[in-house]
Structure 1
């Protein structure tokens, strides 16, 4: 498993203190120059489908579950581990000073059809929906949100945009 990068959120003063630990699996699904992402209205950003693992859930099983729930993906094939990002960011719940998130990214393929999504209530409330978008357009959009420092900007946009750029850099020209 390859460490891609380590990110310390700009609002975080220190990586010391009471740490909430979270592991996540995220899918990279490409079709030509199109990528399957989640657009979240609340944060006005594009992010990779996936999320936190439940308890002792197997990472690949968790990834497949998240892809099915968030995108309606069927016939999911997890091809290879792309790498992982270690991220430290403020934790908003009482009892912790920060969150340490390890996000594992996997190259995946899905079948030609997508079923109905099964979003969680907070995802629905945030206006999250799956979209196929041109990779360069997703990068440009997220970069513009970060450049403007939009007040609604979420904490994950830095990680997501970093990964979008990394994937784009590996695409054939």
Structure 2
């Protein structure tokens, strides 16, 4: 899968040492002139539905599970690979001071009817919910949050905004 970006959190000066390795999948779901994203009140940002790949899962099984759980949609057809982002960021567990994550995006078609979400407790506590929004509006919103963000902010909004902009560039060419 093609590489969209390699990101390194600015707080990391040294990438040597033990790392927690994590893989994640994220879905790109377009309908008419809107994209299905997750809005999180706590962080005031938009992100793609998706998450970690469990030990027993392949990419597509994890993608289908995550889109059902977080966005309440059922994937139909064969998702198409879009791109990958790798990132290094500080991690809160002392045995792994660094998390190295690879996130894989897939363009997906979903059933018209939605189903109930199955959010994790922390997602509910953070005020996360699915929302259909125009792509340019999501990019503008996230860019505003980034302009006002402290330097200590995590990489997730940078990652998500980078992929949103990459998607917008590709769609404008098509």
| TM-score between both structures, scaled by the size of structure 1 | 0.94
Alpha carbons of structure 1 residues 94 and 108: separation in structure 2 relative to 1, 3 Å: same
Secondary structure in structure 1 of the residue aligned to 2:172: coil
Offset at 1:151?
Answer: 8.6
RMSD (Å), alpha carbons:
1.7
Aligned residue in 2 for 1:108? 108
Alpha carbons of structure 1 residues 117 and 153: separation in structure 2 relative to 1, 3 Å: farther
Segments of 4+ in structure 1 off by > 2 A? 74-79, 150-155
In structure 2, C-alpha distance between the alignment counterparts of 1:151 and 1:98, rounded to whole Å: 18
Structure 2 residue runs of 5 or longer lacking an equivalent are none
Offset at 1:14?
Answer: 2.1
Offset at 1:36?
Answer: 0.3
Offset at 1:78?
Answer: 3.6
Structure 1 residue runs of 5 or longer lacking an equivalent are none
Aligned residue in 1 for 2:46? 46
Aligned residue pairs, count: 173
Per-residue deviation, residues 63-88 of structure 1 (Å, max 9, x unmatched): 00000000110243343111111111
| TM-score between both structures, scaled by the size of structure 2 | 0.93
In structure 2, C-alpha distance between the alignment counterparts of 1:19 and 1:75, rounded to whole Å: 32
Q: Which moved more, 1:114-123 or 1:69-78?
A: 69-78
Secondary structure in structure 2 of the residue aligned to 1:60: helix
